Amino acid sequence: MDSNQVPKSILFAFFEGKATAMQRKMIEEWLETPASREYFYQCLDEWEGQHPQYILSEEHVHQAFNQILDNPPFERLESAIKPVHKTIFGSKQWLIAASLTLMMLTMSWVFRKTIFFKTYHTDFAQTQTLTLQDGSTVTLNANSSLWVPRFEFYKDQREVWLEGEAEFKVTHTHDHKRFVVKTDSDFAIEVLGTEFVVQTRKKQNSVVLNHGKVKVNYALGKALYMKPGELFVVNKQSGKAELKQVAKPHQYSAWKQHEFYFDNTPFVEVAELIHDQFGLKMSIPDSALAQRKITGYFKAKRAEDMLSALQMLLEVRFERKENNVIEIHTRPIINL
Amino acid sequence: MHYSWDDTAVYRRETHPAFLSEAMEGKIVDDEEIVRRMFRDDPRKAFEVLFKRHYDRLCNHAIRFVVSKDIAEDIVAEVFTAFWHRRLFEQVATSYRAYLYRAVRYQAYNYLKWELHRSDSLEGVDILMHLPEQNPDEILHYNELHHKIDEVILHLPTQSRKAFLMHRMEGKKYGEIAESLGISVSAVERLVSRALSKLRSELKGFWLGLLFIFWI
């Protein structure tokens, strides 16, 4: 220990908020070297040990520890319920040797999926409301799936997996069990009794919060807390994240009433929604049309309702082709 | 049961050979050193020792900033999660202890700043991997920040302080607080939000001080 060592007693006085300005200056100057920083944190730790703000039981610490071991930051549905094929197919020499094992593995995993998870799925233009064991309700939007563990739902935390879009109304349990919505990407929402809408489609993941508080893990090691009335969007390609205040959060669950709300939404995004919602693929002929802005409410139980409204609005004509492709004619075709 | 850093009993219990031989030679072995060695041989066990060693103190440190058990524990869990699952224990150049404290302080600071000022510190969250270098003044500023927070809370009007602490620290619902204080739910709401806005206004200069240092 060098002679310039700041005594522990002065550090402790500082931690307590009782150091004089001169003592603070002394500590500041001393802190320039890595060794003194190490000593600083060592003393801070010792001081914290002597001045607890609240007491954590050993049991509680143990639980917290197991939770961390069991919960890698973003366990994906893929790896949770399906074997990972990529690693095996990646190297050819293993292919033959592994094929038999893989087949057996796949069988047992598929089997596992049906045994351990109850799957709910909605088709295009269909919504479904379901109640989970804990009383929480989930409304699935069209073309969406939800996996709910049959047996371990209550284990450490309540976990479900979502593909598509859904509104959650989560109940609070007596033991404050977390409710976690996981998705296929690095995106998971942790909840403590709340109401929110999650969307996980091809292009973006998003969450709108109506009531309560949620924590969103949106990329490896990135997380944020949301407050009611906020919309959080992560673009899947660019990874760009955006948090913004929305005036009417309930508009984001308008699909429950087969209503759709657009506010200066580019047509290309509307087309994306039509694809997610009704399974129709719009082929947009030019970028000017793609960027045309659309504003308003649409009530549409079937795709046709929305398409006919859009035809008028954009002054175009839609023509349904094979494979659910919609061709767009920018100049009206006059049928003779 | 609590161990202090100087208390080597906990490592005797681990009966780690490296420790035993050196202890028998009468050398003082820093437990940090021992945990590092353990990470080489049995990371899972080492992580458990490290976690149980630090978890409650780190939560106790974080709570000084965020004034909520849930959030404090969340922040500490996040730091440990990254440490384990992203194998940061292979990369941390300082002592683990120093890393953990720095990471927890930084995360707690970000959270609080976000909560009170709604600044979108989204980008500030992926720093567990590369914590920003801190100069001595910044290091000390963290401690001064939590003193300031404590001071603001201590000087709140009694009812407001009670309601705020019951709500934040104990996670009680407005209804429960209303009942135990014998006031209406909307009065509790007002008391809590008044406490938050007091924190917001009192800490204004404090953030700027720190922000200045961060971005210059």
What spatial distance separates the first Cα and last Cα of chain A, rounded to whole Å?
A: 98
Asked if A156 and A170 touch (Cβ cutoff 8 Å), the reply is no
Q: What does the pLDDT look like over A113-153, one tens digit per residue? A: 555 677 888 888 788 888 888 888 898 888 888 888 876 66
On the question of pLDDT at A284 being above 80, the answer is yes
The amino acid that residue A198 corresponds to is V
According to the model, what pLDDT value does residue B152 have? Answer: 93
| Helix pair angle (A8-15, A21-30), 10° resolution | 120
- Of B167 and A205, more confident: B167
Report phi then psi at B181, rounded to 5: -95, -5
Least-confidence region, from A174-183, B117-126, B140-149: B117-126
B149 band by pLDDT with thresholds 50, 70 and 90: very high
A311 band by pLDDT with thresholds 50, 70 and 90: confident
Report phi then psi at A32, rounded to 5: -65, -30
Q: Work out the average pLDDT over B152-171.
A: 92
According to the model, what pLDDT value does residue B159 have? Answer: 92
Q: Work out the average pLDDT over A313-325.
A: 81
Residues of B with CB below 8 A from A212's CB? none
CA distance, residue B161 to nearest chain A CA (Å):
16
Distance CA B64, CA B135 (A): 21
In whole numbers, what is the pLDDT of chain A averaged over residues? Answer: 76
Least-confidence region, from A30-34, A169-173, B130-134: B130-134
Q: What does the pLDDT look like over A5-57, one tens digit per residue? A: 899 999 999 999 999 999 999 999 999 988 899 999 999 999 999 999 888 88
Distance CA A82, CA A77 (A): 8
According to the model, what pLDDT value does residue A115 have? Answer: 57
- Of A142 and B25, more confident: A142
Residue A214 host element (H or E): strand A214-219
Distance CA A29, CA B88 (A): 30
- Closest-CA residue of A relative to B61 is A48
Distance CA A317, CA B211 (A): 55
Asked if A206 and A199 touch (Cβ cutoff 8 Å), the reply is yes
Class in CATH terms, B134-216: mainly alpha
Distance CA A133, CA A194 (A): 16
Chain-chain contact of B57 with A48 (C-beta, under 8 angstroms): yes
According to the model, what pLDDT value does residue A113 have? Answer: 53
Q: Does B119 touch chain A (CB under 8 A)?
A: no
According to the model, what pLDDT value does residue A183 have? Answer: 78
Report phi then psi at A274, rounded to 5: -60, -35
According to the model, what pLDDT value does residue A262 have? Answer: 79
DSSP A249: G
- Of A307 and B28, more confident: A307
According to the model, what pLDDT value does residue A336 have? Answer: 47
The amino acid that residue A197 corresponds to is V
Handedness of CA A62, A67, A69, A73 (dihedral sign): negative
The β-bridge relationship of strands A145-149 and A137-140 is unpaired
Of B56, B86, B101, the CB nearest to A44: B101
Q: Which residues are within 8 A (CB) of A42 and not within 5 positions of it... i.e. 6 or more apart? A: B5, B95, B97, B98
Residues of B with CB below 8 A from A15's CB? 143
In chain A, which ranges are continuous DSSP H helix?
8-15, 21-30, 34-50, 58-70, 77-81, 86-90, 95-116, 267-278, 287-290, 303-314
Distance CA A311, CA A303 (A): 12
According to the model, what pLDDT value does residue A152 have? Answer: 63
pTM attached to this predicted model = 0.55
Distance CA B63, CA A211 (A): 25
Q: How many CB pairs under 8 A join A and B?
A: 125
Cβ density class A198-232: b for 16+ within 10 Å, e for less = bbbbeebbbbbbbebbbbbbbbebbbbbbeeebbb
- Of B60 and B8, more confident: B60
Distance CA B8, CA B15 (A): 11
B58 band by pLDDT with thresholds 50, 70 and 90: very high
Of the segments A311-315, B83-87, B140-144, which one has the largest average pLDDT value? B140-144
- Closest-CA residue of A relative to B123 is A222
On the question of pLDDT at A86 being above 70, the answer is no
Structure tokens at A122: 């909605």
According to the model, what pLDDT value does residue A327 have? Answer: 83
On the question of pLDDT at A81 being above 50, the answer is no
CA distance, residue A65 to nearest chain B CA (Å):
7
- Of A201 and B51, more confident: B51
Distance CA A177, CA A155 (A): 9
Least-confidence region, from A101-115, A176-190, B46-60, B113-127: A101-115
According to the model, what pLDDT value does residue A9 have? Answer: 93
Of A15, A62, A68, the CB nearest to B84: A68
Helix (H, G, I), strand (E, B) or coil at A210: strand
According to the model, what pLDDT value does residue A307 have? Answer: 83
Measure the CA dihedral A187/A191/A196/A197, to 10°.
20
Beta bridge partners of A223: A217
For chain B, the structural domain boundaries read 1-129, 134-216
Q: Work out the average pLDDT over A57-70.
A: 88
According to the model, what pLDDT value does residue B212 have? Answer: 36
On the question of pLDDT at A195 being above 60, the answer is yes
Residues of A with CB below 8 A from B147's CB? 17
A218 band by pLDDT with thresholds 50, 70 and 90: confident
| Helix pair angle (A21-30, B136-154), 10° resolution | 140
Distance CA A170, CA A195 (A): 6
CA distance, residue A286 to nearest chain B CA (Å):
35
Residue B38 burial (CB count, 10 A): 22
